[in-house]
Amino acid sequence: MPRAASPQRADRSQRRTSLQQERSRATKRTLVQAAMALWRTKGYADTTVADICTAAGVSKALFYFYFPRKEDVLFEVGVMSTRSARRTAEVLLDKPYEVTSVITAALADLERSMARNPPELIIAAILEGYRHEHRILAGAESVDDDRGMFSALFDRARQDGKLPGHVDVTHLAYLAHTLVSEGARHWAAGAFGDRSFAEVVGADIATLLAGLRREP
């Protein structure tokens, strides 16, 4: 009968797993950062996988271990920006909050991220996000585990009575995400003029919420 692993051995195994996971995340971040630096100088279309690997100091085999295509790095950039905005929203839920104020803060965080990149790169990332969604709907890719930018906010707001109980918060988060994506695309194209992304899209989402607060 096999002996059970000792606590010390299990602890060492857990530490090794944690270290490997952290190294994996660090390598992925390095690839994304190298790609972003190149895209800002050379442009997205003129940057190859080989360029990214050289800048990151990794092999092509390692690149393709994390990203099957160059476009997947672009999608990851969008995901990272969304995660940052979501964290901003979730931190504000630890104290008294207003739904629209949290939305505005998250959108401002996202706008700061987008402002660091060329407009054409923002548009390309959004379009890749749409293609990714279509591949999921077609069954070509698995559904992402990541929650949307406002999922936690809307869940909490319904629990706290700031949104009516009849509201489908999952669908609401999807609608808000769509407004964010389309708003970012139009903002990057210069369609908002002197108005900020957070101002315009925040007003759009506030209008959506006002309609949903009515009884069905």
Segment 61-73 shows an average pLDDT of 93
Both 2 and 28 in one domain: the answer is yes
Both 49 and 74 in one domain: the answer is no
Both 4 and 98 in one domain: the answer is no
Lowest mean pLDDT among 59-73, 133-147, 168-182: 133-147
> Biggest alpha carbon distance in the chain?
73
Task: Tell me the CA distances in angstroms from 147 to 83, 101, 154, one per residue in order.
Answer: 9, 20, 12
Placement of tokens 């809307």 in the chain: 154
CB atoms within 10 A of CB 12: 12
Both 19 and 85 in one domain: the answer is no
pLDDT at residue number 78: 87
pLDDT at residue number 13: 59
Segment 95-124 shows an average pLDDT of 95
Amino acid code (one letter) for 63: F
**What total number of domains does the chain contain?**
2
- This prediction has a pTM of 0.82
Both 116 and 210 in one domain: the answer is yes
Both 49 and 87 in one domain: the answer is no
Both 123 and 46 in one domain: the answer is no
Residue 119 has pLDDT above 70, yes or no: yes
State how far the Cα of 11 lies from the Cα of 14, in Å rounded to an integer: 5
pLDDT at residue number 212: 84
Both 82 and 158 in one domain: the answer is yes
Which domain does 16 fall in, by range? 1-67
Both 52 and 127 in one domain: the answer is no
Both 14 and 92 in one domain: the answer is no
Segment 130-134 shows an average pLDDT of 87
- Our measurement of the distance from residue 216's CA atom to the centroid of its chain's CA atoms, rounded to an integer in Å, reads 32
Helix (H, G, I), strand (E, B) or coil at 132: helix
pLDDT in tens, 20-57: 667 778 999 999 999 999 999 999 999 999 999 999 99
